[in-house]
Amino acid sequence: MMDPVFASRLQFALTTVVHIIFPVMSMGLGPFLVYFTWKSMRSDDGVYEQLRDFWTKIFAVSFVVGTVTGIVLEFEFGTNFAAFSKSVGELFGGPLAVEGMMAFMLEATFLGIFLFGKEKVSEKFHFFSGVMVALGSWLSALWILVANSWMQTPRGYEVVMKSGQPIITLVDPIAAYANPRFPWLYTHMQSAAVLSVAVFMAGVAAYHIWTNRDSRFWRKTLKIALLVMVLVAPFQVIHGDAYGRHVVETQPQKFAAMEAVWETESYVPEYLFAVPTSLDQLTNPRAKELFGIGIPGGASWLASGGDPTAEIRGLNSFETEAPPVAIVFWAFRIMVGIGTWFILLAFWGAYRWWKGELFEDDLLHKAMVASAPLGIIAVEMGWIVTEVGRQPWVIQGVMKTQDAVSPTLTSGDAVLTLTGFVLGYAAILGVYSYVVYRIIREGPPEIDESDQEGRRGTDAGTDTDKDTDRDRDTPYGVPSDD
């Protein structure tokens, strides 16, 4: 029979992997909805109204499914991790309560107005509702990541014994909630969400442009998504590099697992490309034994912020057992590889845009379609590095994962809940995927084309092909009214 600790960890990992898709979609789409609404309010161009209405559908579906999976996910703390819940309840209660009462309610309330109140409220209040929806999704992530970042770098607490149970009490809220990890984790997560959605939007638009190159809606979608990719993809890599040095300072064991460094050494290479040559190397990677392309001293340079001869502490030098190195090492490389690909894809698209061939390059379109799900995969890999990399600790240096599991949980109970959660979340993911597919296949809502042409003609004195001409006449094809 399966060990209840392992079954609980597996269950939480699988359910989190599914749940994280939906908040990422919501957080990433939020800024786009604000922009589309603002543009539809400031211009007579009906395409922004189409953009807002179309992507709001996907936002709403993601919000609903994210709420369902998030609430159910929290039950796991009671069923499988009761010892953890009892120990940290005082400290976690604040952020989680604020997330539910303030951020979630803000997002849910104004989403109702944004979805159904367009004809019942003023244009400015409708825009304000869109801003509150986006703000609510980002505040929700803020409070969740406040709690999670505290688990990575715990501060402002004391451990006292009550009835034989270690209880973590809050003694300094500012130190606890503004812990050193929070700004790094929050910035990296939010920019990853925006980038993931931009790549998804570009892939969806590229797919439709195959069949209808003159679709103004999808051309506009592709250009906006590509512009965001050009801005955010390089930032994500630069920020990730600095984030890595913070991990070295606060969780050196996690960094050693990310680089599969077992012995303390200097001048450690950074393997940008690594391939196992045997099953053992896949399941138990040791960076020096892999076939790969490495930058001499690169890992030392990254860890120290510029010194290629700097020493990296190896996994064998720590008293606690190492985290699952294979999972952390390969997940980190997949994440970095996808991030690097996004930079290449973004600047490839920007170059074709500058050449006036953005909508003619089928190879680029195929690459964007194939890349559409990669943003979510990169977020999943990053989350795995964050969560698995701190093992065996559930709270770094304070509580081990094996001590967080419900003491009365049996193997049968754990397998039963694991089965139930896996089946339930798989069904939810399947329904969500089908609904989003239907929305994408149906395309944008119809608008009165004759009215739009008339308005554009009145504003600019040109015909509907003007957009095509401007694509070629201005830098990156950015229309002057964008």
* pLDDT tens-place string over residues 262-296: 999 999 888 877 888 888 888 888 877 788 777 88
Could you give the 3-state DSSP secondary structure of residue 396?
A: coil
State residue 462's pLDDT score.
39
pLDDT per residue over 54-86, tens digit each? 999 999 999 999 998 988 888 888 888 999 998
For residues 394 and 440, give the distance between their C-alpha atoms in angstroms, rounded to a whole number: 39
Least confident of 178-182, 220-224, 332-336, 478-482: 478-482
Calculate the alpha carbon distances from 448 to 346, 445, 455 in Å: 33, 10, 11
Helix and strand counts by DSSP (H, E) for the chain:
19, 8
Query: Do the beta carbons of residue 161 and residue 167 sit within 8 Å?
Result: yes
State residue 357's pLDDT score.
92
DSSP output for 131-177: HHHHHHHHHHHHHHHHHHHHHHS--SEEEEEETTEEEEEES-HHHHH
Question: Which two tokens mark 235?
Answer: 């930032």
Higher pLDDT pick, 156 / 448? 156
Beta bridge partners of 293: 273
For residues 222 and 118, give the distance between their C-alpha atoms in angstroms, rounded to a whole number: 26
Task: Average the pLDDT over 157-176 and give the result.
Answer: 89
pLDDT per residue over 366-375, tens digit each? 999 999 999 9
Q: What pLDDT band is residue 472 in, cutting at 50, 70 and 90?
A: very low
Query: Do the beta carbons of residue 26 and residue 66 sit within 8 Å?
Result: yes
pLDDT per residue over 419-460, tens digit each? 998 999 999 999 999 999 999 998 887 665 555 554 444 444
Could you give the 3-state DSSP secondary structure of residue 295?
A: strand
Per-position b or e across 243-260, b if 16+ CB within 10 A of its CB: bbbbbbebbbbbbbbbbb
According to DSSP, residue 315 is labeled G
CA angle, 269 then 273 then 274, to 5° = 85
pLDDT per residue over 212-241, tens digit each? 777 899 999 999 999 999 999 999 999 998
For residues 44 and 53, give the distance between their C-alpha atoms in angstroms, rounded to a whole number: 15
Question: Which two tokens mark 372?
Answer: 């559409």
Question: Which two tokens mark 208?
Answer: 């439709």
3-state secondary structure string, 200-226?
A: HHHHHHHHHHHHCCCCHHHHHHHHHHH
Q: What pLDDT band is residue 349 in, cutting at 50, 70 and 90?
A: very high
Calculate the alpha carbon distances from 59 to 30, 48, 86, 197, 445 in Å: 8, 16, 35, 11, 15
Nearest to 17 by CA among 425, 433, 432: 425
Q: What pLDDT band is residue 355 in, cutting at 50, 70 and 90?
A: very high
For residues 237 and 302, give the distance between their C-alpha atoms in angstroms, rounded to a whole number: 12
Calculate the alpha carbon distances from 125 to 129, 187, 465 in Å: 6, 29, 34
Name every residue whose Cβ is closer than 8 Å to that of residue 277 and which is 6 or more positions away in sequence: 290, 291
Q: Is the pLDDT of residue 390 over 60?
A: yes
Provide Rg for the chain, Cα atoms: 24
> What is the CB neighbour count within 10 angstroms for residue 221?
26
For residues 307 and 298, give the distance between their C-alpha atoms in angstroms, rounded to a whole number: 9
Residues of the chain with pLDDT > 70, as a percent, come to 92
Task: Average the pLDDT over 171-180 and give the result.
Answer: 93
Query: Do the beta carbons of residue 456 and residue 65 sit within 8 Å?
Result: no
Question: Which two tokens mark 456?
Answer: 């554009």
> What is the CB neighbour count within 10 angstroms for residue 224?
22
State residue 463's pLDDT score.
40
Could you give the 3-state DSSP secondary structure of residue 408?
A: coil
Query: Do the beta carbons of residue 73 and residue 18 sit within 8 Å?
Result: no
State residue 297's pLDDT score.
87
Query: Do the beta carbons of residue 329 and residue 260 sit within 8 Å?
Result: yes
State residue 447's pLDDT score.
61
pLDDT per residue over 117-126, tens digit each? 888 899 999 9
Kindly report the backbone phi and psi dihedral angles of residue 447, in degrees, each rounded to the nearest multiple of 5, phi listed first. Answer: -130, 165
